[in-house]
Amino acid sequence: MLLELVLGCLITEPIFPNTLNIYFDCVERQEIIDNTSNYHQIVLDNFEIHDVEQALRVIWCESSGQQYALNKNNNETFDKGIWQFNDKTWAWLTPKLKLFSDPFDIEVSTKTASWLVYNDGWHHWNASKKCWSINE
């Protein structure tokens, strides 16, 4: 489905030392895309095409694609779902966006993530930026 994102991995020539990093980067991209395959359509439906790979990377880096991922923070709040929305962030967004579900709902949380990205940027996931950033 997202074949166009990984066409660079199709190596038709031998791998040389000067192309090894490119190859490994491509293999990593393929692994992330493969491991988030359950979310391709919902991400395609809610993000602009040039942001799809980055959105999938955020999902992978935040939750390894686990719908019911739950992580407790030092301040006693929890991060939940594939996007790892913090309790405080979700509480702030609930009345603003009239959310009707919890962060474990893939459709609602993906739409919410998209709204945040296009209204306030990717910084909400800065804690895992070293993992997901493709623009550095």
pLDDT 10s digits, 108-135: 999 999 999 999 999 999 988 888 887 5
Q: Mean pLDDT lowest for which of 17-21, 80-84, 101-105, 112-116?
A: 17-21
Q: What is the tally of structural domains in the chain?
A: 1
73 vs 70: CA distance, rounded Å:
10
Q: Mean pLDDT lowest for which of 4-18, 85-99, 115-129?
A: 4-18
Q: Beta strands 70-72 and 78-80: pairing type?
A: antiparallel
- The answer to whether residue 31 is domain-embedded is no
- The answer to whether residue 46 is domain-embedded is yes
- The answer to whether residue 95 is domain-embedded is yes
Range of the domain at 48: 39-132
- The answer to whether residue 88 is domain-embedded is yes
Residue 43, domain CATH: 1.10.530.10
- The answer to whether residue 8 is domain-embedded is no
Q: Mean pLDDT lowest for which of 9-23, 67-81, 87-101, 116-130?
A: 9-23
- The answer to whether residue 15 is domain-embedded is no
45 vs 15: CA distance, rounded Å:
36
- The answer to whether residue 69 is domain-embedded is yes
- The answer to whether residue 73 is domain-embedded is yes
